[in-house]
Amino acid sequence: MKLPTRLSIVAGLLGLGLLIGAVKASILQLARGSALKELAERQYLRSIRYSHFRGDIADRKGRLLATSVALHSVYAEPRKMNHPDRVARALKSALPSLTKIDLERLFSDRSFSWLARRIDPNTSAEIADLKLEGIGISEEEQRFYPNHALLGQTLGFVSIDGESLGGIEHAFERYLKPKVWNTLTYQDARAKSIRTYVAPHQEDLRGDQITLTIDRNIQYETEEILKETVKNHHAKAGWAIVMKPKTGEILALANVPLVNPNRPGKNLSLWRNNAISRTGEPGSTFKMVTFSAAMDLGLLQPDEKINCEKGVWDLGYITIRDVSKREWLTPGEIFKYSSNIGTFKLAQRVGKERLYEMIRQFGYGELPGLNMAEEAKGYVSKPETWASSRFANLSFGYGLMASSLQVVNMVNTIANGGVRVAPQILKEIKKSNGETYHPLLSNPSVRILKPETAKLLTHYMIQDTESDGSGKRAAIEGIRVAGKTGTTEKLGASGRYAKNLNISSFVGFAPAEHPEIVALVAIDEPKGIAYGGYVAAPAWKRIVEAALLQI
């Protein structure tokens, strides 16, 4: 028998080893194949999230109000560092603003940590050139408002983490936010991509562009005039709304003090959009509702005389007073001299139920329809709860809560010949592929007054701005103006109306015969003379003059 040689033994052992390896591989593949495949995919297969910037916001003529720019941010991946002390020294030299706490993150067991957000390009380039282990630079979006404080409260702002906070940014987030695309990539041991599945074009992921009805130039003029008025009357604040009558498009929505969305600060109370969110008793401007109801129901003759009790009427349950101490007045004169007594006598003819119906038809007690979270609906109680004193107060604008947007929309209905239209601030939406579409109106237009009622009310409003009317300071040379003053007392700390705390307002439209502009101006807590005709009417005149030159 021939003994096996050393070579044949080695060959046999190798063959046996290969056989065992093959068997082991087969066992692993059969028994643990899916688990091993999952492990490999976890190590080499990564999910990548593609996105882009928020959509731009533009005014009605395409001028930018908000956009996004790319800035660089520095991050650390401590688990990938072999010498964090060296990295810390290099970073401290390139980025002196890093704190001790920032640098301590390099020595942690974290997989990711931000070090510096949105730094200047030169600094990010310097850090990139250092090629530090575990240090990366990422491109981030920075929201930028090129007009600074212009339209601040209405635009809102975006946080450092991309969260929309208030205003247009939040209201139309579903359009503005960028699209997101998730795909897969295979990476090598150094986390470099070997192959990536289909990735979209970045521009296709940009958010939609929002075009507003706002006119940037009219907005600027309105804010400047408001600022000056608030300063001259040592007032607490001011706001204004400028609107196109036929379409309900808002051309300006101004609030003073101004705020800059590029630097929002910590005092978020300044971000309140008083023009649409603040509610209060509308006062004398509301008398148009009472007049509308009486005239539309045929309960008022233009040439009749009504006893206004020489300015004082004691009813036992309430004493109504007028600023003007007059006795017999026509309806036009009641409106012109803003008689509370005469207005309540008209309300008595109308009755509680029918007055309430007219109040609701004008939109009081419901959201105006801008689709902004800040919008207020106000409050109107049901007529069955009205005591005699509440009924009297309601007739001339007390005892209910309304926003300035609701008041200006009421006047807009009169300017439109009795047709109520929904206010609009969103003009159109443009997708990243260039497709443009127009949003649906939240409320259709509806006739609520007879044309002759709106025409007669317009005549009364014109009288209010003539030489001896309370709104004479709103008159524009060469143009007939229709308007109404308002001076509303506010509740003081005691819970009673305070004579020295007022909101002075003026609302109206021009030209009176063929309205092009409807506007409201309100000044909060002016010092000294506080009548709406003295404080708000001159500002209204200047704002409307500027707007008429722009349209």
What digits encode the pLDDT tens for the residues 243-298?
A: 999 999 999 999 999 999 999 888 878 899 999 999 999 999 999 999 999 999 99
DSSP states of 56-94 as a string? PEE-TTS-EEEEEEEEEEEEE-GGG-S-HHHHHHHHHHH
Could you tell me which residues come within 8 angstroms of residue 26 by beta carbon, excluding any fewer than 6 positions away? none
Distance CA(284)–CA(340), nearest Å, equals: 8
Distance CA(61)–CA(65), nearest Å, equals: 11
Q: Which residue has the higher pLDDT, 124 or 393?
A: 393
Distance CA(56)–CA(430), nearest Å, equals: 10
Distance CA(24)–CA(317), nearest Å, equals: 101
Cross-strand pairs, 436: 430
> What is the predicted pLDDT for the residue at 106?
83
Q: Is the pTM higher than 0.75?
A: yes
> What is the predicted pLDDT for the residue at 12?
56
Q: Which residue has the higher pLDDT, 92 or 43?
A: 92
Query: Is the pLDDT score of 364 beyond 90?
Result: yes
Query: Is the pLDDT score of 235 beyond 90?
Result: yes
| Ranges 104-113, 174-183, 228-237, most confident | 228-237
Query: Is the pLDDT score of 506 beyond 90?
Result: yes
Query: Is the pLDDT score of 3 beyond 80?
Result: no
Query: Is the pLDDT score of 32 beyond 90?
Result: no
Distance CA(202)–CA(540), nearest Å, equals: 46
Of 93-107, 324-338, 511-525, the range with the lowest mean pLDDT is: 93-107
Are 203 and 433 contacting, i.e. CB atoms less than 8 angstroms apart? no
> What is the predicted pLDDT for the residue at 456?
96
Average pLDDT, the chain: 86
H helices of 298-382, where? 331-336, 340-350, 352-361
Return the amino acid letter for 31: A
